[in-house]
Structure 1
Amino acid sequence: MQLTVLGSGTAMPVPERRQAGYLIAGGERNLLVDCGAGVLSRLAETDVGYEDVSTVLLTHHHLDHVADLFPLLKARWLAGEEHLEVIGPTGTAALVDGLFSTFEYLDGRVDVAVRGVAAGTSFTAAGFDVTARETRHSLRCLAYRLAAPESDVPAREGPLTLSGDSEAFAGLARFADGTDVFVHDCSFPDDVDVSGHPTPTSLGEALAGTDVGTLVLSHLYPHTAGREEELVRGVRAAGFEGDVVVAHDGMQLSPGEG
């Protein structure tokens, strides 16, 4: 399994960070988790390209996680690709229907299969085994734990977990416990008063005592610029003992290997 961070940013753009998007290779097909603004262009820079991504898994429906969904659909149509699968929390079908009602000329151009999934369920996406858990955010949001099919490991024990947007809390920490790589929202430094997102200290406290190999801090607002080392120190000082890295667009990791 290989994870490529396509977008480590948020709804407040900065030049070096696109909005949320993560490419996961190593299943039966390539899987794109979230598709915020700028993710399509990042995807076009990869060896995979948008032509070879036919499944999108959404954590939630905030604009910085879905803005490039229909640009992706259109790009695939123009490239001659005729299918796109979109999976996400309850309401994903309504989201897609609403977009088609706005962009009517795209309706029927691509065979779009939409699937809603609920917290606590396990399912397959692009051949990956996935388990979902609800997070704590201002909109219904799902975290996902993934295992590659060849691993013969249940998704609940899979090597990669992505939080989506969420406050840090014990239930989500338990969901990720034992994972090789945990990509978690770390939107703001400790001196910002925020809800629906964590700060380094709250994240480190929630993850203290868990067995997580590498924690990847992502979904970074401009407030974190130049303070990346401070984010890492804050997580560690609060009790998390695993490796901590700050995400950047283009970062690649190989969960489950080694």
Structure 2
Amino acid sequence: MRVTFLGTGAAMPHPERVQTGLLVEAAAGDARPLLVDCGAGILHRLSQTEPGYEAVSTVLLTHHHLDHVADLLPLVKARWLAGEEHLEIVGPTGTKELLDSELATHEYLDGRIDLTVREVSPGETVSVAGLAVDTYETRHSVQCLAYRFRAPDTARASDAEAPEEGGTPTGAQTGNHTGERSATSDAEGLSGESDAADGVTTEDVVPGAGERPGEFVFSGDSEAFEGLANFADGAQVLAHDCSFPDGIDVDNHPNPTQLGAALAGTDVERVYLTHQYPHTDGEEEAMIESVEAQFDGDVRVARDGLRFTV
């Protein structure tokens, strides 16, 4: 499995970070990669990748805040203009309502491509773009789902009991509209030079990659808490919301000390801090040290264009 951070920013603009989005490939060079979240700037980032936006036929949303969905309808339009005929949107309850509302405003896009919507609930395991995806409800101001990605023919690596907190499966709904180690991970980002094959990303090596079935967890937006840490236990890589440095009073997102406390004792090889507000500039080393004071794994700050394989 190969993961590319397309956008590692948040709701306030940053010159080196666009809003949230990740590209997840079941294997390197996957012809139909999965886009996870689609905040402002993600469509442009996709155009800089080797697959391109034309290859993305499935989008998985963690939640519906604007910095995670702003480029969703622009993606629909771009695929229509490029001659692509289908797009599947998968997300939590309310995803169909979100798309209905947007298409009601931009009626000329309705029916231009075959747009299908699938809603998933906390606690489900679903098949998305050739991957098995476990879901878990986070602690945020709106319903938000964390996702655990793995090969479809493997069981979860963790032997721990299921998390005590979170939702329970309630089924799925469908709808259809036809028609390296440093604070900055040594990543120059999508706009910098790179040794990567596609010339636009920087590779980061994960210890032990290939030695066991790779699993990756994305927190979406969330406070740090034990249940979510248990959900990530046993995964090789966790990308977790860490929007602000210590010393800033904030709800719905963790600071590094809170994240380190929640992850203490968790078996995760590497944690990437993502969803970064401009407040984190110059605080990266301190943030890493705060998490590592309580968590034994490798901690790095994600950057746009950083790519790793598990």
User: Which interval holds the TM-score relative to the shorter structure?
Assistant: over 0.9
In structure 1, runs of 5+ residues without a counterpart are none
Larger Rg: 2
Deviations 1:4-47 (A, max 9, x none): 00000001011100000000012673100000000000010000
Q: Tell me how far apart the structure 1 counterparts of residues 67 and 283 of structure 2 sit (CA, whole Å).
A: 22
Q: Percent identity?
A: 61
TM-score by length of 1: 0.96
Deviations 1:56-92 (A, max 9, x none): 0000000000000000111011100010000000000
Q: Tell me how far apart the structure 2 counterparts of residues 156 and 96 of structure 1 sit (CA, whole Å).
A: 35
Matches for 1:1-258 after TM superposition, within 5 Å? 1-26=1-26, 29-149=32-152, 152-154=153-155, 159-237=215-293, 239-255=294-310
Give the counterpart letter for 1:170 in structure 2: E
Give the counterpart letter for 1:250 in structure 2: G
Pair 1:156–1:123, CA change in 2 (3 A): farther
Q: Tell me how far apart the structure 2 counterparts of residues 248 and 198 of structure 1 sit (CA, whole Å).
A: 18
Q: How far 1:154 sits from its partner (Å)? A: 2.5
Pair 1:90–1:155, CA change in 2 (3 A): farther
Q: How far 1:155 sits from its partner (Å)? A: 5.0
Q: How far 1:127 sits from its partner (Å)? A: 1.1
SS across alignment from 1:42: helix
* 2:34–2:58 Cα contact (<8 Å) kept: yes
In structure 2, runs of 5+ residues without a counterpart are 159-213
Tell me the residue number matched to 2:175.
none
Q: How far 1:166 sits from its partner (Å)? A: 0.1
* 2:157–2:234 Cα contact (<8 Å) kept: no
- C-alpha RMSD of the superposition: 1.1
Q: Tell me how far apart the structure 1 counterparts of residues 14 and 156 of structure 2 sit (CA, whole Å).
A: 34
Q: Tell me how far apart the structure 1 counterparts of residues 63 and 229 of structure 2 sit (CA, whole Å).
A: 19
Structure 1 runs, 4 residues or longer, greater than 3 Å off: 155-158
Q: Tell me how far apart the structure 1 counterparts of residues 282 and 45 of structure 2 sit (CA, whole Å).
A: 23
Aligned length: 252
SS across alignment from 1:72: helix
Q: Tell me how far apart the structure 2 counterparts of residues 180 and 223 of structure 1 sit (CA, whole Å).
A: 28
Pair 1:83–1:49, CA change in 2 (3 A): same
Q: Tell me how far apart the structure 2 counterparts of residues 38 and 156 of structure 1 sit (CA, whole Å).
A: 34
SS across alignment from 1:235: helix
Q: Tell me how far apart the structure 2 counterparts of residues 148 and 34 of structure 1 sit (CA, whole Å).
A: 20
Question: Which has more helix, going by share of residues?
Answer: 1
Q: How far 1:156 sits from its partner (Å)? A: 6.8
Q: Tell me how far apart the structure 2 counterparts of residues 221 and 154 of structure 1 sit (CA, whole Å).
A: 35
Q: Tell me how far apart the structure 2 counterparts of residues 212 and 133 of structure 1 sit (CA, whole Å).
A: 17
TM-score by length of 2: 0.80
